[in-house]
Amino acid sequence: MLPLLILYQDDRYVAVDKPAGALVHRTTLAPADVPTGEIVLQRLRDQLRHHVYPIHRLDRATSGVLLFARDPEAARLACTQFETHTVYKRYLTVVRGYIADEGMIDYPLQAAPAEPFQSAITTFRRLGTVELAVPVGRYLSARYSLVEVVPKTGRIHQIRKHMHHIFHPIIGDTTHGEGRHNQLFRDHFNSKRLLLFATRLRFTHPFSGKSIVIDAPLDLPSQQLLTHLGWSDHCCPATLPSVNG
């Protein structure tokens, strides 16, 4: 197995490019027999030969920037920034339909059906659109948008739930998405993953006070997909101007 791509590291933190399909760490919801190679925490620990501490999470199906601390104090200080929503996170995604040019979704979410609702805010900006001459349901063609998304809060499945809420589900989302459009991408583009990429993370280094910006590239199949859809200018999200800086 190839080593994880390290995007940033110093004596207190390390960030990697999390592959789609990999778990950040084992949880009570994850099967106990998940191979160690699919657990990012264990892979990175073995790769560095040093204990690391997860700062935040990405959904198993999402790829991109994932930050770890090298010691408990560094973890505590960075976690505080995530908890107070002072960390900037940018995602790239492909959704069904022509989404608005830009907007903000302010829609409270639950972590689970029995849990209380919590504030959840997401801003977005449309980067491109495409219409495919492929019939889906009662329509003779299918429309999609490439979108830059910035979550202001960090609720479970926030971006996926918010895109579903405004009727623009993410392609490849088997929980909150639309099966017929997911199937179209599987059949015509051999795309079997969730098209959600954590492309940038920015936080204030607790020990130096510097602003740390970490970018993750898209994997080659995703770059090829975006190019095929006419979005080659957006294949390298690190070069894009962001919604809010």
Give backbone dihedrals phi and psi of 124, rounded to 5 degrees, phi first.
-145, 160
CA 26/CA 70 separation, integer angstroms? 18
Pull the structure tokens for residue 157: 């499945």
Query: In the chain, which ranges are continuous DSSP H helix?
Result: 40-48, 72-83, 158-165, 179-189, 220-228
Does the annotation mark 11 as catalytic?
no
Residues 229, 138, 196: CA angle, nearest 5 degrees: 35
Pull the structure tokens for residue 147: 């979108």
Strands 102-106 and 121-132, how do they pair?
A: antiparallel
Report how far Cα 73 is from the mean position of its chain's Cα atoms.
26
Residue of 59, 106, 215, 233 marked catalytic = 59
Q: How far is CA 217 from CA 4, 34, 98, 158, in A?
A: 13, 26, 25, 22
Active site (catalytic) residues: 59
